[in-house]
Amino acid sequence: MKIYIFAFLVVFPSLVFAQERSVDERCSGYADTVTKLLVNRYDHETQDEQLELLNEIDDKAYRENLIGMLKHTYTLPLYSNEKDIKIQFLNQYIASYRLCIKQYVDK
């Protein structure tokens, strides 16, 4: 009986809280999504096409932040030099990760 209670106490919380993600996981995913938006821009997708995809996200705060980053992404210049493109992607990743950290750590 003690084994069942122990197993219940160990397994049950991990099942209940399995959807909890760390700030690092959440912000890494957020930054990855922002860089995908930039990739799509370089692939000549319109802002409206990407906005349709973002509107399918359930989490309102997450969605609104991504929409803000999408609008910012479309103000950025498109580079043809590979080095400049990589620097732009790195800058976007860092900026979006920082924004996410500020939002979720301050809560």
Q: Which of helix, strand or coil describes residue 81?
A: coil
CA distances to 22, 33, 62, 85, 98 from 101, rounded to whole Å, are: 11, 15, 12, 24, 5
Q: What is the pLDDT along the chain (107 residues), one digit of tens a residue?
A: 545 454 444 444 444 444 567 888 889 999 999 999 999 999 999 999 999 989 998 989 889 989 999 999 999 999 999 999 999 999 999 999 998 888 877 76
Q: What angle is formed at CA 78 by the lines to CA 76 and CA 82, rounded to 5 degrees?
A: 125
pTM, two decimal places: 0.73
User: How far is the C-alpha of 26 from the C-alpha of 104, rounded, in Å?
Assistant: 9
DSSP assignment string, 5-54: HHHHHHHHHHHHTTT---HHHHHHHHHHHHHHHHHHHHTT--HHHHHHHH
Domain ranges in the chain? 21-105
How many other CB atoms are there within 10 angstroms of residue 97's CB atom? Answer: 17
